[in-house]
């Protein structure tokens, strides 16, 4: 895959105009969900380059990141005359950039697309790195392809449109980047007041977080090795998220935050991660994200979800663990007993 162009923009109008200009196309499509259509599209309204755009609006939330919504987008593209030379702009959170990226990557075997992430999660994680896809059979991102957006335009002006929960959801992925990158970055993230954020400061931290992700993706775009570091917290996190979808869905970043609690326990017990840093991180997560209650009766289903993790090889459940902040250990396996102990640590 080619290197991805990620632009940290201070003028969304100008950046979008030039990004569209750089990408020759016949027809232009804009994909948004119902929330972004009313909260974010007004911020790009009136742009000359969007005058002739065709809009496709889908239902919001990860529960709609599914085959039905994907089929709806493919149908709309077909009905509105998209060709292989068309361009799609995905404007929204991770659900829109994941599903939109997949729709574009597969329609007529692939049309170009640009991501404009509007949530903190999409800015720091989902929109960057070319992972596209949908949930299937109750499993997270079960179907998808790696295919980079032509460009990703990150403008923190959109953060004014999101609520506390979505801000925290994205911040969990930034905390993950801190944990896998360095003690300094981890400490900065732990000490920043994300509940009353200074937006200039946050903008700088977003750029740093994106740089951490981008560097790793460029080394290993198809997740054969070091990219698995970006999946820290996700073996258990995705199991929590799939589990929650059967009851009361939770935001992706909350699931990752809870997953990091269980996986930090494995880091301590299997990779000698410092216990004090684990407890500091766990306290941070509890104080901002609360808890998702699970009991021992739920462990078997959670374990079954983990058996579907995309990092697994043969029958072993694969984790990315840390020996310390920034000390990444990929392809670590844990047996069922270790995993149940980690769930116990999370639950009590
Ligand atoms: O970009 C990656 O690689 C990641 O693993 C980043 C994750 O934070 C992200 O949630 C990703 O979409 C999860 O991918 P999956 O392959 O575990 O479904």
Out of 116, 131, 161, a domain closes at: 161
Ligand 1 center from residue 231 Cα (angstroms): 6
pLDDT over 90 at 3, yes or no: no
- Residue 43 CA to residue 75 CA, distance in Å, equals 27
Out of 126, 145, 161, a domain closes at: 161
Number of domains in the chain: 2
pLDDT at 1: 76
Q: Is 310 in the pocket of ligand 1 (CB under 6 A)?
A: yes
Ligand 1 center from residue 214 Cα (angstroms): 13
Ligand 1 center from residue 97 Cα (angstroms): 13
- Residue 70 CA to residue 76 CA, distance in Å, equals 10
Ligand 1, atom nearest to 213 Cα: 1
Ligand 1 center from residue 123 Cα (angstroms): 13
Domain of 170 in residue numbering reads as: 164-347
Query: How crowded is residue 2: how many other Cβ atoms within 10 Å of its Cβ?
Result: 8
Q: Mind giving me the DSSP string for 228-295? A: GGGGTTHHHHHHHHHHHHTSS---HHHHHHHHHHHHHHHHHHHH---HHHHHHHHHHHHHHH------
Q: Is 230 in the pocket of ligand 1 (CB under 6 A)?
A: yes
Q: Is 62 in the pocket of ligand 1 (CB under 6 A)?
A: no
Ligand 1 center from residue 204 Cα (angstroms): 23
- The residue whose CA is least distant from atom 3 of ligand 1 is 230
pLDDT, one tens digit per residue, over 248-283 is 999 999 999 999 999 999 999 999 999 999 999 999
Contact between residue 114 and residue 152 where contact means Cβ atoms under 8 Å apart? yes
- The residue whose CA is least distant from atom 18 of ligand 1 is 141
pLDDT, one tens digit per residue, over 40-82 is 999 998 889 999 999 999 999 999 999 999 999 999 999 999 9
- The CA angle 309-311-316, to the nearest 5 degrees, is 80
Contact between residue 118 and residue 42 where contact means Cβ atoms under 8 Å apart? no
Beta-carbon contacts of 312 under 8 Å, excluding residues fewer than 6 positions away, are 318
Answer yes or no: do 146 and 205 share one domain.
Answer: no
Answer yes or no: do 75 and 187 share one domain.
Answer: no
Out of 161, 181, 198, a domain closes at: 161
**Residue of 146, 230, 237 best suited for mutating to test ligand 1, as the one with most atoms within 8 Å of CB:** 230
Answer yes or no: do 178 and 109 share one domain.
Answer: no
Taking CA atoms, 69 is separated from 75, 78, 103, 284, 334, in Å, by 10, 14, 10, 36, 36
Answer yes or no: do 93 and 204 share one domain.
Answer: no
pLDDT at 149: 98
Answer yes or no: do 137 and 206 share one domain.
Answer: no
Ligand 1, atom nearest to 140 Cα: 18
pLDDT over 90 at 124, yes or no: yes
Q: Is 155 in the pocket of ligand 1 (CB under 6 A)?
A: no
Of 48 and 120, more confident:
120
Residues 242-277 as b/e (b if ≥16 CB within 10 A, e otherwise) read bbbbeeeebbbbbbbbbbbbbbbbbbbbbbebeeeb
Ligand 1 center from residue 50 Cα (angstroms): 31
Ligand 1, atom nearest to 141 Cα: 18
- Residue 167 CA to residue 95 CA, distance in Å, equals 15
Answer yes or no: do 92 and 146 share one domain.
Answer: yes
Answer yes or no: do 105 and 144 share one domain.
Answer: yes
Ligand 1 center from residue 95 Cα (angstroms): 12
Query: How crowded is residue 11: how many other Cβ atoms within 10 Å of its Cβ?
Result: 10
pLDDT, one tens digit per residue, over 74-99 is 999 999 999 999 999 999 999 999 99
pLDDT, one tens digit per residue, over 300-339 is 999 999 999 999 999 899 999 999 999 999 999 999 999 9
pLDDT over 90 at 2, yes or no: no
Which of these, 304, 259, 250, 308, lies nearest to 62 by C-alpha position? 250
Answer yes or no: do 173 and 127 share one domain.
Answer: no
Contact between residue 231 and residue 129 where contact means Cβ atoms under 8 Å apart? no
- Beta partners for 139? 136
- Beta partners for 28? 87
Answer yes or no: do 245 and 336 share one domain.
Answer: yes
**Residue of 147, 231, 250, 251 best suited for mutating to test ligand 1, as the one with most atoms within 8 Å of CB:** 231
- Residue 7 CA to residue 116 CA, distance in Å, equals 10
Ligand 1, atom nearest to 98 Cα: 12
Answer yes or no: do 139 and 287 share one domain.
Answer: no
Contact between residue 254 and residue 292 where contact means Cβ atoms under 8 Å apart? yes
pLDDT, one tens digit per residue, over 166-175 is 999 999 999 9
Q: Is 241 in the pocket of ligand 1 (CB under 6 A)?
A: no
- Residue 115 CA to residue 32 CA, distance in Å, equals 11
**Looking at residue 143, which CATH number applies to its domain?**
3.40.50.1970
pLDDT over 90 at 109, yes or no: yes
pLDDT at 45: 82
pLDDT over 80 at 111, yes or no: yes
**Looking at residue 233, which CATH number applies to its domain?**
1.20.1090.10
Contact between residue 333 and residue 317 where contact means Cβ atoms under 8 Å apart? yes
- The residue whose CA is least distant from atom 12 of ligand 1 is 126
pLDDT over 80 at 194, yes or no: yes
Ligand 1, atom nearest to 128 Cα: 1
ipTM for the complex? 0.98
Ligand 1 center from residue 129 Cα (angstroms): 9
Answer yes or no: do 226 and 270 share one domain.
Answer: yes
Answer yes or no: do 174 and 154 share one domain.
Answer: no
pTM strictly above 0.90? yes
Ligand 1, atom nearest to 227 Cα: 3
- The residue whose CA is least distant from atom 10 of ligand 1 is 126
């Amino acid at each position: 895959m080619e290197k991805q162009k990620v632009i940290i923009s201070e003028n969304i109008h100008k950046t979008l105009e030039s990004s569209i200009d750089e990408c020759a196309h016949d027809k232009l499509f804009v994909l948004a969900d119902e929330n972004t259509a009313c909260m974010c599209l007004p911020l790009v309204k009136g742009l000359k380059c969007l005058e002739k755009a065709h809009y496709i609006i889908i239902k919001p939330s990860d529960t709609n990141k599914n085959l039905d919504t994907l089929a709806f987008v493919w149908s709309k593209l077909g009905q509105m005359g998209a060709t292989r030379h068309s361009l799609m702009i995905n404007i929204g959170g991770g659900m829109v950039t994941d599903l939109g990226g997949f729709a574009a990557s597969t329609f007529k075997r692939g049309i170009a697309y640009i991501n404009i992430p509007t949530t903190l999660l999409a800015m720091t994680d989902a929109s960057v790195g070319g992972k596209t896809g949908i949930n299937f059979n109750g499993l997270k991102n079960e179907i998808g392809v790696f295919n980079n957006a032509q460009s990703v335009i990150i403008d923190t002006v959109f953060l004014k449109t999101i609520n506390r929960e979505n801000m925290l959801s994205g911040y969990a992925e930034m905390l993950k980047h801190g944990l896998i990158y360095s003690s300094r970055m981890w400490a900065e993230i732990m000490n920043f007041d994300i509940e009353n954020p200074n937006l200039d400061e946050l903008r700088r931290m977003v750029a740093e977080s994106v740089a951490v992700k981008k560097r790793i993706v460029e080394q290993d775009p198809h997740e054969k090795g070091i990219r698995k570091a970006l999946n820290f917290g996700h073996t258990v996190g995705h199991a929590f998220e799939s589990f929650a979808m059967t009851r009361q869905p939770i935001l992706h970043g909350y699931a990752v935050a809870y997953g990091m609690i269980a996986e930090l326990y494995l880091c301590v017990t299997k990779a000698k991660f410092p216990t004090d840093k684990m407890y500091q991180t766990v306290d941070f997560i509890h104080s901002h994200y609360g808890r998702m209650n699970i009991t021992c009766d739920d462990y078997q289903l959670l374990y079954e979800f983990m058996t579907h993790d995309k990092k697994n090889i043969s029958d072993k459940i694969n984790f990315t663990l840390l020996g310390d902040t920034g000390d990444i250990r990929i392809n670590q396996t844990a047996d069922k007993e270790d995993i149940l102990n980690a769930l116990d640590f999370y639950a009590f």
